Structure 1
């Protein structure tokens, strides 16, 4: 299956849905037949429920990115739980039925990436909400000031060439509220296809890793 040979790549999009750029990204993914993962912010879902419905209808995975893009390392356990639950509720409201998210990505990667005293608490809350925390292996900096599409593609290419010989699956951090990301996406897909990687959603990579043969 996907990911068993370690050449899978998951494109992930944080911070949307965004009314200007998410539709462009969805158009490209549909044209290219690529399934991605969208880590959505609750208040963006509340403002753009139709876009969330489109993400789900077009077969993409949806993950929890908190309600207000909260830095979890600064929150109490109750506040962490509220951030995750409110996002799940607004996703359900947008779709019209319970659509349980299996994945969550902590904004800024905190407290998982830098580590902090909040990590044990956060782990406990995330597990209690039946979520699996997901960070990333490639960050091309698509959100940096004045980011241009070519720079994003170059960063992707550098990371992939250094990419540990294609021995491991990659999870790519992108943002669907960035215009330059929407512009760069066709070339990003070209690059990964040309290097022999196969696209998968994060849940497919995890299933292959943990449930595979």
Structure 2
């Protein structure tokens, strides 16, 4: 292939890690990480609905999340599904709450707080795993340059995605703990969804 004959495409399933492992390339922008987060046992009732909407694989949250300023709508909607039981999810699906998937609106303050707290807990555990494996990489390859070990840059990008999402979910938890802020947030999300 000659220069300028390259074919460029966008694959939303392509993460930094998969690009490095299978293509030998480093993504310099639009970082994405695949999050595989084990769900707590009390969320098992929501698994069939979560699987139907592409949230889970083998009883764990399994999403590709981009690095963004805003919360990924699929991630937030999956957290909202996880905190509801199967019966309530079936009723909500019949009433059209999932009609604009992956964009959903908060149902009530308690549910939104629970979804935000679940997300914070799962993301903190993921960040701990990333930090631990990053320190292992530094110990093993500490004297090598990043050019020699691009896996260090991939781990850095994955960490940035998780930290960004964690900050957003912590802010959501704070907003949903205040009745007035929660109402303003819900009104804004409904207005944005109906626009």
TM-score range, shorter chain: under 0.3
More helix by share: 2
TM-score by length of 2: 0.25
TM-score by length of 1: 0.24
More strand by share: 1
**Relative contact order higher in (CA < 8 Å, ≥ 6 apart):** 1
